[in-house]
Amino acid sequence: MTRLLLRFAKEQADIPLQLPSLLASGNLTQAIFLLHSLKGLAGNLGATILVKVTNQLMNEIKVEGQWSSLPSFVSIMQMGQSNIARYVKPIASNERVIIEDKVVRQSHSNFVP
């Protein structure tokens, strides 16, 4: 799980920057594709709050052509990435990670209700 969290944080790090640009330029199809992919990854990690806000944003874009939940989405993404960076640390020698049980619960609580 820890490797998945680290990979998720690394590979999805630019989404909070990418998404507003896509929306501002009118590239709604690409924005929805990006959100759909993120929603699947978040679901696999059990990040239900991120799944919920991502789904809400996707629906706003598809149905209403607006994105009022974008600030909430960006905030949740940044908080999750920050917690992963803060609490999940790789060991350089063998790429394993050390996480204390309480830290996992604390970090996970930002994504799960």
- DSSP summary character for residue 89: E
Q: What is the CATH number of domain 2-107?
A: 1.20.120
Task: Report the half-sphere exposure of 10 (CA within 13 A, side-chain side).
Answer: 9
- Mind listing the pLDDT tens digit for each residue in 24-79? 999 999 999 999 999 999 999 889 999 999 999 999 999 978 899 999 999 999 99
Q: Which alpha helices (H) appear in 12-100, and where do they start and end?
A: 15-24, 28-45, 48-59, 70-87
Q: Tell the burial category of 68 from Cβ atoms under 10 Å away from its Cβ (0-12, 13-18, 19+).
A: exposed
Q: Tell the burial category of 73 from Cβ atoms under 10 Å away from its Cβ (0-12, 13-18, 19+).
A: buried
Q: What whole-number percentage of the chain has pLDDT above 90?
A: 52
pTM: 0.75
